[in-house]
Structure formats: structure tokens, C-alpha cells
Chains A and B, each alone.
Chain A
């Protein structure tokens, strides 16, 4: 994954069978869709609770989708690239909750490790991170 993320490597697309790309995209659609939907709910009901965690999940899924597009699709459709995923979307900033999604996408730019979760949740309940 670190090699795929290394922007110094010359972009080199590799063809995967179309069915495999479809099968990779489908679960990402579930993760992105449900996390964005839950973010909309959380923003209204409990912004300081689940929202920061959901942003991380959503950002990571967007990042993974962009990686798949940029590395395995020879002629990708009209979608965001990895650079787009890293750049806050001005259109999305116009309204909430889309602004939250834009903020989540900026986390996908590589700030995952440094993004702090503002929560009083006990340490024991936090997700385990690889060191």
C-alpha cells in the first residue's frame, strides 16, 4: 500500500478484470454510503460523539476508492482522483453536512495518522491502530 501511495512512483496502471474492479467497488460503495449517511445523522444528533470516528472511516474509504481508480483503471470515469480526494471540494463546502464530507476527504490526503479524535471516550474503547 505504501508503494501505491508513493507519489514519486511513475503512475503505472495495471489492468484488472472488469469483474474484479466491480467487486472491489461494491463494498466501498456500502462503506462510503453508510458512513456518510450516519455522519448526516450524527451531525444533527450528536456531533461530538460518533462524527469524528465516522469521518475517519469515510475518509479512508474515499482514499481506497481513489487508489483503486488511479492504479487499476485505464480510463476511469468522471470521478474524483487521488488528488481530488486530497483536496477539499469547494462545491461540497457550500452546505452542511457536505462540508463534513469534504473535511473527511482532506483527512484522506494523508493526515489519517495525525488526525486526532476529539472525544472523552476511554482509551480502552478506541480503535486499535497499528504502530
Chain B
């Protein structure tokens, strides 16, 4: 008997740059992920609720609502606070990382994207038990 098929993970990619969005969504879809796209932070917050993604990749420099505020709103809403968020940014200093984590992001990665490294972080968060995710979301530290 072959093992049961893995459920397809749905990724919400919140990214305003068209080329970044096109390139990363193609590469994720090639690896079997289902990808939903949001073009600004406000849409990202709304789609986190309506699309119920398994994980969010969040650019931080976004129009309408920036990625830090969008993350805070997603993590403060009971319906979406369990969804892991990886910050993606071309701002690469250590304080940029700290700022993203303080906003509630579960992890952080930089552009240019190292896809192997990003996939490793996604896998780790996608396989983390939901109970642990919820506990982290409620942890103010």
C-alpha cells in the first residue's frame, strides 16, 4: 500500500512587488503548495480570515497597511492567531529581524530568498502542533 497523500498546504503570500509575487508563487506551486495572493497588508489581514491559509509569507514593506501592523492584527484575532507567519524582507539587519518577531511573526527570512532555507522554515512551522502555535501566539514575550 502506498502512503496516504499529504494534504496540500495553502500558503498566503502577502507581497506588493509583482515580480517577487510572481516568482515566489511559481516556485511554491511547483513544489505542490497552493498559493493565495494578497497585494497589500489590509488584503492580507482579510484573506488570512477568508482563505484560512496554513501559513503566511508576509512582506513587511507593504502599502495600505504595512507587514508589521498586518501581522499584529492577524495575531490578535482569535480566528487567525494560530496561523504561522514568516516575515520576508529585503531589510536584513538584526533589528529588522527583532522588529518582525516582536510584531508576532513566527520566523523571519531575508531577500534575496534562499528557497531551500525558506522551505525548511516553512516545513518546521507547518508541522508544528496547532496547540503549540496557539500557545506561542498568546505569549506576550
Q: Is B27 a contact partner of A21 (Cβ separation < 8 A)?
A: no
The contact string, 1 if C-beta is below 8 Å from chain A, for chain B 50-87, is 00000000000100000000000000000000000000
Specify which of A34, A73, A98 is in contact with B93 (CB 8 Å cutoff).
Answer: A73
CB-defined contacts of A117 to chain B, threshold 8 Å: none
CB-defined contacts of A92 to chain B, threshold 8 Å: 116
Determine whether B132 belongs to the interface, using a CB cutoff of 8 Å to chain A: no
Assuming A18-B91, A36-B27, what are 5 further A-B pairs, CB within 8 angstroms? A18-B93, A29-B111, A30-B23, A77-B94, A79-B92
**A-B contacts, CB under 8 A, total:** 77
Q: Is B93 a contact partner of A74 (Cβ separation < 8 A)?
A: yes
Q: Is A26 a contact partner of B90 (Cβ separation < 8 A)?
A: yes
Which A residue sits closest to B31, measured CB to CB? A40
Residues of B within 8 A of A (CB): 17, 19-20, 23-24, 26-27, 30, 61, 89-97, 108, 110-116
* Distance between Cα atoms of A78 and B109 in the complex (Å): 8
Q: How far is the CB of B91 from chain A (nearest CB, A)?
A: 6
